[in-house]
Amino acid sequence: MPVFDNIPALLVVLPLIASAIVSLLPSARVAWILTFVVTLLCLFMAFELVDIVSNTSSFSYAFGGWEPPWGIVFVVDGANVYLVLLVAFISVVSTFYAYTILAAEIAVEDLPKAYSVWLLAIASLFGLSMTGDAFNLFVFLEISALSSITLIALGAGQDRRALLAAYNYLIIGAIGATFYVIGVGYLYAATGTLNLTDIVDRLNELGTNQAAITGLAFMLAGIMVKAGVFPVHIWLPAAYSFAPSAVSSLLAAVATKVAIYYFARLLFGIFADITLLVEFFLLYILMPVSIIGIFFGTIAAIYQTDLKRLFALSSIAQIGYITLAFSLNSHSGISAGFIHIINHALIKGSIFMAIGIFAFGIGKRATMTSMQGVGRQMPITFAGFVVAGLALVGMPLTAGFISKLYLFKALFETNNGILVAIIAFSSVLSVLYLWKIFEVMWLKEPTKPLKIEKEPIMAYLPVWMMVAVIVVFGVYSNDIVMSGIGAANALIGAN
């Protein structure tokens, strides 16, 4: 069908147009229905896209018929097709979840506008994951940043500190994005093109070029800020902990993951020919930074009492695992990284959703003291939360186990015993903070009755949808493993 040829463009354009319409709607319910229908359509198109790419291996869409390298192209191949599917799936589930929880956390008259920005964020995430143009990526990066900041600032109705978190993200994010543009400028000066595939060919001809190397450095620094990699993560904990719960679950699940995907594409797909520099960066910068990040995130999470901030800090550790897998610079390392991108998105998304329901139930922020016995009062949500928590540690029969398994497989290939031991130790550490939460929520007596009659089915259903996927991927791991290997094949060629 001719419509299917335009799927990459439609995935961005549909939410974009819907966003404008939604902002004009007077009723919050109608706005939600339209948002939900649009995300469902996107999910359907994403499945269609997976189907197309599995037959043809790569699918490129030239905007306005301007062939690359002149026009802007969207390229979908093995490396990003599952990312597109992930963004589509998470946006459907978290929009479903937003029906009760977002409505409870922000003013009713703001809801249509919130859904409008919500759709804008989704459109930009699709754009980020598909674009094949270095400058176009910057534009999507900024749309994504500005819409995320607006969504985070909506948390001000609950806690005014959300405004400070949003402002900090704005300043740090804008510096990161500007660094990225400087990098693109250098790269354009060296190669004279912005098309990512074309850049690879030109760099190949150029050999080692000072301007290209400087460009790479700036681009990597900028993308690392957006991805929340350890030393430049400081905007992340506050932003995720003060944003409305539905927003936290959407952003924590996919916003940083999309940046990490592009980070991998820069290192392995585009600058792979500047071998010396990339190897130096991976081994002497990315690997130490990832390990420090893993420990920083885990240990900070152990001492944290606010649940949302705790899991935001644990996100930094999990991003550390992904970048560590990449830093091994091997086929199995890259596939492990991509497997963990998808698994961590599902796990963190469901955890933030569950915390949102707990906070909704008790009517205030979820902290270690306010959470006492809440697990007994809300058993259905708590059960989902526990499964997601166990997946975070890497318990067998959950998707988290598959990530850890492939990460260790990649680590063993390096024959570096110390590295394996360090990572095993850090995984054990993460049991500490989860156990602390489980203990408070299940073993302690409830102190106060809930503010709600029973658990809202519209809120725990999406949590369980995600948890079901986590368990299915843990048992039937073939699909998720193939997606990771497919991504590695697309970036550095078959093993």
Q: How far apart are CA 135 and CA 252, in angstroms?
A: 25
Interaction between residue 175 and other proteins (CB under 8 A): yes
Rounded to a whole number of angstroms, the minimum distance from the CB of residue 156 to other proteins is 7
The torsion angle over the Cα atoms of residues 356, 32, 81 and 273, rounded to 10 degrees, is: -70
Interaction between residue 113 and other proteins (CB under 8 A): no
Interaction between residue 302 and other proteins (CB under 8 A): no
Interaction between residue 63 and other proteins (CB under 8 A): no
Interaction between residue 448 and other proteins (CB under 8 A): no
As a 3-state breakdown, the chain gives helix, strand, coil percent values, each rounded to 5, of 80, 5, 15
Rounded to a whole number of angstroms, the minimum distance from the CB of residue 135 to other proteins is 5
**Count of CB atoms situated within 10 Å of the CB of 72:** 18
Q: How far apart are CA 160 and CA 239, in angstroms?
A: 12
Strand segments, DSSP code E, in 302-455 are none
DSSP 368: T
Q: Judged by CB under 8 A, which of 98, 156, 282, 407 binds other proteins?
A: 156
Contact 333, 327 (CB under 8 A): yes
Contact 325, 229 (CB under 8 A): no
Stretch that binds other proteins, among 21-29, 97-105, 106-114, 172-180 (CB under 8 A): 172-180
Of 362 and 463, which CB lies nearer to other proteins in the complex structure?
A: 362
Stretch that binds other proteins, among 28-36, 290-298, 363-371, 427-435 (CB under 8 A): 363-371
Q: Judged by CB under 8 A, which of 40, 163, 429, 450 binds other proteins?
A: 163
DSSP 72: -
Of 29 and 364, which CB lies nearer to other proteins in the complex structure?
A: 364
Question: Both tokens of residue 468?
Answer: 């079901």
User: How many residues of this chain interact with other proteins, rule: CB under 8 A?
Assistant: 34
Of 372 and 427, which CB lies nearer to other proteins in the complex structure?
A: 372
Of 170 and 301, which CB lies nearer to other proteins in the complex structure?
A: 170
Rounded to a whole number of angstroms, the minimum distance from the CB of residue 173 to other proteins is 9
Q: How far apart are CA 471 and CA 438, in angstroms?
A: 19
Rounded to a whole number of angstroms, the minimum distance from the CB of residue 12 to other proteins is 16
Q: How far apart are CA 405 and CA 280, in angstroms?
A: 26
DSSP secondary structure string for all residues of 211-243? HHHHHHHHHHHHHHHHHT-GGG-TTHHHHHHHS
Q: How far apart are CA 491 and CA 487, in angstroms?
A: 6
Rounded to a whole number of angstroms, the minimum distance from the CB of residue 308 to other proteins is 11
Give the angle subtended at the CA of 275 by the CAs of 269 and 279, to the nearest 5°. Answer: 95
Interaction between residue 450 and other proteins (CB under 8 A): no
Q: Judged by CB under 8 A, which of 370, 398, 427, 489 binds other proteins?
A: 370
Interaction between residue 308 and other proteins (CB under 8 A): no
Of 35 and 370, which CB lies nearer to other proteins in the complex structure?
A: 370
Q: Judged by CB under 8 A, which of 164, 217, 234, 302 binds other proteins?
A: 164
Of 192 and 396, which CB lies nearer to other proteins in the complex structure?
A: 192
Q: Judged by CB under 8 A, which of 170, 319, 345, 488 binds other proteins?
A: 170
**Which single residue is written with the structure tokens 């890259």?**
334
Q: Judged by CB under 8 A, which of 182, 285, 405, 420 binds other proteins?
A: 182
DSSP secondary structure string for all residues of 268-306? IIISTTSHHHHHHIIIIIIHHHHHHHHHHHHHHHHH--B
Radius of gyration of the CA atoms of the chain, in A? 21
Of 107 and 189, which CB lies nearer to other proteins in the complex structure?
A: 189
Interaction between residue 209 and other proteins (CB under 8 A): no
Contact 180, 219 (CB under 8 A): yes
Rounded to a whole number of angstroms, the minimum distance from the CB of residue 364 to other proteins is 7
Stretch that binds other proteins, among 161-169, 226-234, 379-387, 449-457 (CB under 8 A): 161-169
Give the angle subtended at the CA of 224 by the CAs of 222 and 225, to the nearest 5°. Answer: 70
Rounded to a whole number of angstroms, the minimum distance from the CB of residue 185 to other proteins is 5
Count helices and strands in the chain by DSSP H and E runs: 22, 2
Interaction between residue 171 and other proteins (CB under 8 A): yes
Of 142 and 201, which CB lies nearer to other proteins in the complex structure?
A: 142
Q: Judged by CB under 8 A, which of 110, 142, 201, 273 binds other proteins?
A: 142
Residues that bind other proteins (CB under 8 A): 135, 138-139, 142, 145-146, 149-150, 153, 156, 160-161, 163-164, 166-167, 170-171, 174-175, 177-178, 181-182, 185, 188-189, 305-306, 364-365, 367, 369-370
